[in-house]
Amino acid sequence: MTAAKKDVLIYDTTLRDGCQAEDISFTLEDKLRIAAKLDEIGIDYIEGGFPGSNPRDAEFFKAVERLKLRHAKIAAFGMTRKPSAKPAQDLSLKTLIEAETPAITLVGKTWDLHVREDLRISLEANLEIIADSIAYMKKRVEEVIFDAEHFFDGFRSNPKHALDCLKAAQDGGADWIVLCDTNGGRLPGEIRAAIAALAGVITTPLGIHCHNDGELAVANTLTAVEMGARQVQGTINGIGERCGNLNLCSIIPDLELKMGKHCIEHEQLKKLRDTSHFLYELANLSPNKHQPYVGDSAFAHKGGMHVAGILKNRETYEHIDPELVGNRQRVLVSDLAGRSNVIYKAKEYGVDLNDEHEAVKDILKRIKELENQGYEFEAAEASFELLIQEALGRKKKNFHLLGFRVIDEKRKEDEPPISEATIMLAVDGVVEHAAAMGNGPVNALDSALRKALTKFYPALKHMKLLDYKVRVLSSGEGTGSAVRVLIESGDEHERWGTVGVSQNVIEASWQAVVDGIDYKLYKDSKQAAAK
Q: Greater confidence, 96 or 336?
A: 96
Instruction: Specify the pLDDT at position 472.
Output: 87
Q: How confident is the model at residue 301 (pLDDT cuts 50, 70, 90)?
A: confident
Mean pLDDT of 297-320: 84
pLDDT surpassing 60 at residue 334: no
Instruction: Specify the pLDDT at position 182.
Output: 98
Specify the DSSP element, H or E, that contains 40. Answer: helix 28-40
Indicate the Cα dihedral angle 220, 221, 226, 229, nearest 10°: 130
Cα 161 from Cα 128, distance rounded (Å): 12
Which H, E and C letters describe 179-199, residue by residue?
A: EEECCCCCCHHHHHHHHHCCC
Indicate the Cα dihedral angle 446, 449, 452, 455, nearest 10°: -70
Q: How confident is the model at residue 338 (pLDDT cuts 50, 70, 90)?
A: low
Instruction: Specify the pLDDT at position 479.
Output: 59
Indicate the Cα dihedral angle 107, 111, 113, 115, nearest 10°: 50
* Length, in residues, of the chain: 531
pTM here is 0.74
Instruction: Specify the pLDDT at position 508.
Output: 95
Taking a C-beta distance cutoff of 8 angstroms, is the pair 232, 251 a contact? Answer: yes
pLDDT tens per residue, range 84-118:
999 999 999 999 999 999 999 999 999 999 999 99
Instruction: Specify the pLDDT at position 15.
Output: 97
pLDDT tens per residue, range 504-523:
999 999 999 999 999 999 99
Q: How confident is the model at residue 480 (pLDDT cuts 50, 70, 90)?
A: low
Handedness of CA 179, 182, 184, 190 (dihedral sign): negative
In a 13 Å sphere around the CA of 6, the CA atoms on its Cβ side amount to 23
Q: Greater confidence, 308 or 445?
A: 445
Query: Which one-letter amino acid corresponds to residue 399?
Result: F
In degrees, rounded to 5, the angle at the alpha carbon of residue 70 between the alpha carbons of residues 64 and 74 is: 40
Q: How confident is the model at residue 367 (pLDDT cuts 50, 70, 90)?
A: confident
Q: How confident is the model at residue 406 (pLDDT cuts 50, 70, 90)?
A: very high
pLDDT surpassing 80 at residue 30: yes
Instruction: Specify the pLDDT at position 3.
Output: 46
pLDDT tens per residue, range 424-453:
999 999 999 999 999 899 999 999 999 999
pLDDT surpassing 90 at residue 337: no
Cα 389 from Cα 393, distance rounded (Å): 6
- Using DSSP's 3-state secondary structure scheme, residue 476 falls into coil
In a 13 Å sphere around the CA of 85, the CA atoms on its Cβ side amount to 14
pLDDT tens per residue, range 218-273:
999 999 999 999 999 999 999 999 999 999 999 999 999 999 999 999 999 999 99
Handedness of CA 370, 373, 377, 383 (dihedral sign): negative
Instruction: Specify the pLDDT at position 329.
Output: 87
What class has domain 3-264? alpha beta
Instruction: Specify the pLDDT at position 528.
Output: 84
In degrees, rounded to 5, the angle at the alpha carbon of residue 214 between the alpha carbons of residues 47 and 23 is: 50
Q: How confident is the model at residue 364 (pLDDT cuts 50, 70, 90)?
A: confident
Provide the residue ranges of all domains of the chain, joining segments of one domain with +. 3-264, 408-456
Taking a C-beta distance cutoff of 8 angstroms, is the pair 353, 360 a contact? Answer: yes
pLDDT surpassing 60 at residue 398: yes
Instruction: Specify the pLDDT at position 476.
Output: 59
**Average confidence score pLDDT of the chain:** 92
Q: How confident is the model at residue 2 (pLDDT cuts 50, 70, 90)?
A: very low
Terminal CA-CA length for the chain:
44
Cα 202 from Cα 282, distance rounded (Å): 40
pLDDT surpassing 90 at residue 402: yes
Cα 45 from Cα 72, distance rounded (Å): 5
